[in-house]
Amino acid sequence: MLTREQRIGAFFVVGIVLLFVAIELTLGLGLLRRRYPLYATFRDVQGLDSGADVRLAGIKAGRVDGMQIEQDHVRVTLLINGGLVV
């Protein structure tokens, strides 16, 4: 039989897991999805921000992970949802 402290601890662990799942399902942050990196280069990325959606034919396919300035262009790292071939 579990002690009172163990039951309280188990209750909180289950509650935290359920909260995490509810947030993931509600906001769709993609924390549980497998993604692969894809790199693209652009001369101008005005208006593009890290965390922006990547869309393929209007459907969300991933997100912008980061941007790095190189000589005469910007290298953009995209994280594409697993299972999609680009």
pLDDT in tens, 18-54: 998 888 777 766 666 788 999 999 999 999 999 999 9
20 and 51 housed in the same domain: no
22 and 9 housed in the same domain: yes
Share of the chain above pLDDT 70, in %: 94
**Mean per-residue pLDDT, 3-24:** 91
40 and 80 housed in the same domain: yes
6 and 44 housed in the same domain: no
Range of the domain at 77: 34-86
pTM given for the model: 0.63
Which pLDDT does position 78 carry in this prediction?
A: 96
25 and 53 housed in the same domain: no
40 and 66 housed in the same domain: yes
Query: Taking the C-alpha atoms of 7, 12, 13 and 16 in order, what is their torsion angle to the nearest 10 degrees?
Result: 160
How many structural domains does the chain have? 2
83 pLDDT band, cuts 50/70/90, is confident
Query: What b/e sequence results for 3-31 when a residue is b if at least 16 CB atoms lie within 10 Å of its CB, and e otherwise?
Result: eeeeeeeeeeeeeeeeeeeeeeeeeeeee
| Residue 22 phi, psi (nearest 5) | -65, -40
56 and 71 housed in the same domain: yes
Which pLDDT does position 21 carry in this prediction?
A: 84
φ/ψ bin of 51: left (φ > 0), alpha (ψ from -120 to 50), beta (otherwise) = left
